[in-house]
A and B are shown apart, each in its own frame.
Chain A
Amino acid sequence: MKFSLGAIQYYWPKEVVQSFYQDVAESTVDIVYLGETVCSKRTELSLKDYMDIAHQLREAGKQVCLSTMTLLEAPALVRDMARYVDNGEFMIEANEIGAIQLAHEKSLPFVVGSPINCYNQHTLNLFLKQGMQRWVMPVELSREWLENLLEHDSIQTVRDQFGVEVFAFGHMPLAWSARCFTARAEDRHKDDCQLCCINYPKGREVKSQDGVQIFLLNGIQTQSGHRYNLVNDLPSMQGLVDVVRLSPEPEGTLKWLQAFQDNLDGGQPQPLADTDTNGYWRSLAGMVKAL
């Protein structure tokens, strides 16, 4: 089983990002995804900056993928996405079907990101024929769904040709909108957002009127209010999952990476926080924490 770090979902200052990846280079992670996947207005790091980090990580022995934007509104953004696809060195993680189109046109391999709607064996096979190397399962799916999907003969015969990756730690991306909710929380429109999301390195908490932390606002993205944490579910991934993904949080991400790696066979389980959840993997509502 390998471990990966997803693209940073929040808007962090450039030096924070660079320092984070210096630590990542020294960590035991196998695969690192880089890039801005949430909002095209976030320009602390350019594609060149990401490429510089990608080279450093590759030299440190990591496999690097470039992650593309999830929601493209203006047609001009397709050009930006094409620059990621055409980087010439690193495989892309397609978070939008248009990125698959661009990669497929050029016969480039790709990772199918979790926001792409791949829910069954037929769709998975189609992507495989078009160049998919790895599939990140949609966050809302369960172990049972994954098992049902993989057990089909049409998948079993090609199972050695692609990897299965599961989002297993961090605040889950649940929705993308035209509207910027972080700007709205400051009573501003998106056009006048003043990039205020940089002030919320772990998103802004949304609480229900009875005090449940239900969501996090991260610009145009809405995240789970609770942190997904499958550290104690790793044994149930054996034989199904090839790559376990952790999503970078402002603090403790690499400590958790270690905790995950230490608990691969269930020998060193971790206490879950009150605000941790594992519901989706257990075929329950995403916000539920099953013991």
Chain B
Amino acid sequence: MELLCPAGSMPALKAAIDNGADAVYVGLKDDTNARHFAGLNLGDSGLKDAVSYAHRHQRKIHVAINTFAHPDGWERWKNAVDLAVECGVDVLIIADLSLLAYVHDQYPHMEVHLSVQASATNPAAIDYYRQFGVSRVVLPRVLSMAQVRSLARMCDMPLEVFAFGSLCIMAEGRCYLSSYMTGESPNTAGACSPAAYVRWEEKDDGVLESRLNDVVIDRFAEDENAGYPTLCKGRFHVGDDLYHVLEEPTSLNTLELLPELHKEGIASLKIEGRQRSPAYVSSITKVWRQAIDAVMENPNDFLVKDEWNRVLGSLSEGSQTTLGAYHRKWK
């Protein structure tokens, strides 16, 4: 069971590898990936250095090219693929059918994983992607553990699941909430609730208000932790109630599912967070390395250590974690 960690920069990549990641995933410095944020990701030479560092330590490097090519921007997506292959990366993570077809045609021996942004949740969808030589599917965060289990047992396709990090509560790759509010979505711009549209305002009564493209996402009292205004984690009104209508600010944490995920032969555990700091990556990687080693060593007698949960909790959104859709009651 592979530990696959995020890296938005060279220091984060080193932090992941030095602390025990089996593989690291990165993106390029443009809108070809779903974390297209200012100051994040790797340029041409950065990618070469990253590959060299990973391979020197016998680890793998995956490149996410997981947005959808624009009709007038095909060259940019094609170039991203060509560059990644030329730099000698181990895996491409792709969502767009046109890119899957291109890679299958041009680089038939390249290892390709289906990005979560392709939103494949069932055996028929997974079967569709076999024609492109996809050798692993990253599952959307919409399935319960029972559903992951039945998929793992029905399909011979290796599966990768999200283990920890910020929680997308919608089926990934099919969520247009961000473009509805700002004009930019993960699919078209590689961004959700983009920072350029965020505005903070402190009111006279001490209330801190966050807005996205001028719409109030949340208001925080002085004693509350104010989180980034991701639109699906705002507090809105339904009828007379004011609450987190879609989801609370929280992070996914599947530590307690590790024995089950191991038993079902899940190929890889993905940690979300290419936008996070090297210090964050380092702490998270350390915990998950220990946890995976423990479950591999003794799958029947695995216990989640309080210390692991304490570290993960302190690094989570809103300082709280959830099993998300893996736990049926969450739905």
Contact = CB atoms under 8 A, between A and B. Distances in A.
Contact of B215 (A96, A177, A180, A212): A212
Given A177-B171, A178-B325, A214-B236, A172 B180 contact: yes
A208 B188 contact: no
A77 interface: yes
Contacts of A149: 71
Nearest to B124: A98
A185 interface: yes
A287 B231 CA distance: 14
Contacts of A101: 124-125, 127-128
A230 interface: no
Interface in B109-167: 117-125, 127-129, 141-144, 147, 150-151, 154
Given A99-B124, A117-B173, A176-B174, A209 B97 contact: no
A174 B120 CA distance: 18
B72 to A, nearest CB: 5
Contacts of A139: 176
Contacts of A242: none
Contacts of B119: 97, 117
A119 B215 CA distance: 28
Interface string B275-296: 0000000000000000000000
Nearest to B69: A120
A198 interface: no
A121 B97 CA distance: 11
A139 B177 CA distance: 11
Contacts of B70: 119-120, 145, 148
A82 B124 CA distance: 10
Contacts of B328: 189-191
B40 to A, nearest CB: 23
B37 interface: no
Contacts of B97: 117-118, 122-123, 126
B124 A204 contact: no
Interface of A: 70-75, 77-78, 81-82, 96-102, 104, 115, 117-123, 126, 138-141, 145, 148-149, 152, 172, 174-181, 184-185, 189-191, 204-210, 212, 214-215, 217, 222, 224, 279-280, 283-287
Nearest 7 pairs between A and B by C-beta? A98-B124, A122-B98, A286-B180, A119-B68, A178-B142, A149-B71, A178-B325
